Chains A and B, each alone.
Chain A
Amino acid sequence: MKKQNPLLEIKDLHVSVEDGIKILNGINLTIHPGEIHVIMGPNGSGKSTLANVLSGRPGYNIDSGEIIFKGQNIINQDPEIRARNGMFLAFQYPMELPGVRTWQFLKASVDAVRLHNKLPELKIKEFDKLLEEKKAIVEMDSELLKRSVNEGFSGGEKKRNEILQLCLLNPIFAMLDETDSGLDIDALQIVAKGVKDFHSNINSVMLVTHYQRILNHLSPNYIHVLIDGKIVKSGDKSLSLELESKGYEWIRETISKKS
């Protein structure tokens, strides 16, 4: 299996923001089809930045390094092109789109991706059928589809809406930026169910999280610990349990001992 071409390769990625403050200090990460990678780390370590930079969010300076997605360096690619090529980011704080109905937004997204892949736009009936199927996975209330995107949605509803989009767009690579934060147990289970439904031996996941609990529902291949913009330790699922009990200080100590 591992002899497959990687889906995503991040090579020595250095990223700073406007004031010259460095956020990522040489990230190296390779993700193969079907893998689940988990990024953990203390606040401000660059976890969200990594997900945002991969998705093409403006406001970051890429100082050096490469992001190879499906064999192509995408550093200068517009976010909509990355999305159409199968990259997805579930936002930590999903935006509200006043006056844009959720249904309309979802249809526009699905059609944009389809058109890019030389598929015709879905007819309303076809789309509704797809929507019906996917919204059942995340147990999304139909009423929400008539409302403006995320406007007046609870925190949990916003996150479910993100996972609904994930299931509808069915990308090849999904990044989840702290999607599990602030969710109660039921909502967490629903989100995990959505991710599980999406995940396959082709589709990969990069999960940014603070908590071990969502990992109980998923089977991650790798856990990476990000500190000060660098992956300082990688391991299997047991690493997350160790982190949960020992905290990040333990890692810092191990690193300083080594050096």
Chain B
Amino acid sequence: MDSRNNIKEILKYHKNMTTSTHIPEQYNEDYKKLNEETGHLEPNWLKDIRAKAFQNLSKNGFPTKRKGNEKWKYTNISKLSKTSFSLQTIEDQNILKKDDFTNLVISNESWINIIFINGKLQTNLSGIENLNPEITITKFSDSFNDPIKKQLIRDNLSKYSSSEQDGFTSLNTAFIRDGILINIHENAEIARPINLSFISNSTEKPTVSYPRLLVIANKNSTATIIENYIGDSSIQNFTNSVSEIILNDKSKISHYRLLNEGDNTFHIESSRVTLKTATVFESTSFSKSSKIGRYDLKVNIEGENSYCNLNGLYLTSGTQHIDNYINIDHIKPKGTSRLNYKGILTEKSRAVFGGTVWVREGAMKTDSIQSDKNLLLSDEAEIDSKPALFIYADDVLCAHGATAGNIDPETLFYMRSRGIDLQTASKLLINGFASEIINKVDIPDLKKSLEKLFLESLPNYKLEF
């Protein structure tokens, strides 16, 4: 073989080392089916958004953890990429009764409860009609007759989460069907938490759902949003969620998110949050169970004097894999961001934390702290924590750190010297570690449910001494 051929071989080899894979045929079929079912009901611009997204998906495929793809370095989704997940057709739906999942759903009569089952909005189980006139909650497809709502969706949908961003956002965008618009009107103070439950429990065949959320907080408005992803199916389902949240000047959103879909479900979620001037975004994320659960949250601070406080708790067991991929982008000056995630890892589970804060040129007087702390309660558990800071501005205050390990023996000794045995001491400390995040929840009933979900399932663990 001459050297020229050799180079050709090498080039061919490298061409095959792509950072994405191609997609199962099932998505093609379902895309066609979706167009046949609902295509005639949607406006052309939405059809175009979806078509473009599907093109991007076919072109780019799903990401892989190959070299050069830092974003997916520690999360192997090859199994997910290869599995054929079906979209639930109209006939399949509504086979579930409320009783089938009441034990899973966290809700309260005083909240605005919205329930989706396998991606389909359950209007009969949800309370989005006759709401306070200061808020609009509607399915995209129900709003095309209303010029104002239609325009809002057209102006914002897919603008913050581009379908070019990655294969999973393309996939979600291509399959927008039961997307929801939450529009909080100017000066509105919505006291009732808006509680969205996405239940994934198809037991017939691997099923995919595509939750899609567009939240617009208009000037000077306040609201609380809860996103619950729950399920307990014995088969592998896939939830592919995308939300776009826009906070206009002086608005405030408190956002809670819970991932508890059982040990078999794949969960890929992307959230894009845009902060205009003098806004407050508080986010508290909880991950309890998922086969592979990825939360890709990005907050863009596009206005001055804005504040975001992102907290997270993940508790992993078995062979679960939880990946929190958090980015905060300080584009404008005087922004404050707090990023505080904590993990408790048991058995053979694995977690990934990628936390990156960008301080762009001109974003002076940025104040940012990020931290990721992990308790590894098993020798076989693994955490890959990678906090990073990229600062291109002067006069900023930034700090970051990550810890991983067992509980400090000195701390345990302190407790033992007060008569507390090792097991009780361990439990108090593990509880305390988790409570720091749970205590950030401002809604008493939600807090109670989370305490039950997390603290009661903490392992009875005797830390090594």
Contacts and interface: CB of A to CB of B under 8 A. Distances in A.
Interface string A75-96: 0001110111000110100111
Interface residues of B, number: 24
A112 B418 contact: yes
Interface string B406-424: 0011110111111111101
A112 B436 contact: no
Contacts of A55: 417
B264 interface: no
Nearest to B424: A108
A58 B413 CA distance: 8
A212 interface: no
Interface residues of A, number: 31
Contacts of B431: 99-100
Contacts of A165: 418
B433 interface: yes
A98 B419 contact: no
B432 A97 contact: yes
Contacts of B415: 97, 105
B409 A58 contact: yes
A18 to B, nearest CB: 14
Nearest to B428: A100
A78 B433 contact: no
Nearest to A115: B419
Contacts of B411: 95-97
A96 B433 CA distance: 12
A83 B436 contact: no
B424 A97 contact: no
Contacts of A83: 416-419
B414 A84 contact: no
B interface secondary structure, majority: helix
B156 interface: no
A45 B150 CA distance: 79
Contact of B414 (A58, A97, A98): A97
A169 interface: yes
B433 A112 contact: no
B58 to A, nearest CB: 48
A70 interface: no
A98 B415 CA distance: 13
A95 B429 CA distance: 12
B410 A108 contact: no
Interface string A110-128: 0011001000000000000
B434 interface: yes
A233 interface: no
Contacts of A105: 415, 418, 428
A176 B418 CA distance: 14
B435 interface: yes
A109 B433 contact: no
A98 to B, nearest CB: 6
A97 B407 CA distance: 10
A96 B414 CA distance: 9
Give the top 4 A-B pairs by smallest Cβ distance, nearest first: A99-B432, A112-B419, A109-B418, A95-B414
23 contacts: A56-B416, A56-B417, A80-B419, A80-B421, A80-B422, A82-B417, A83-B416, A84-B419, A88-B417, A95-B411, A96-B411, A97-B429, A99-B434, A99-B436, A100-B431, A104-B428, A105-B415, A105-B418, A108-B428, A109-B418, A112-B419, A113-B419, A169-B419
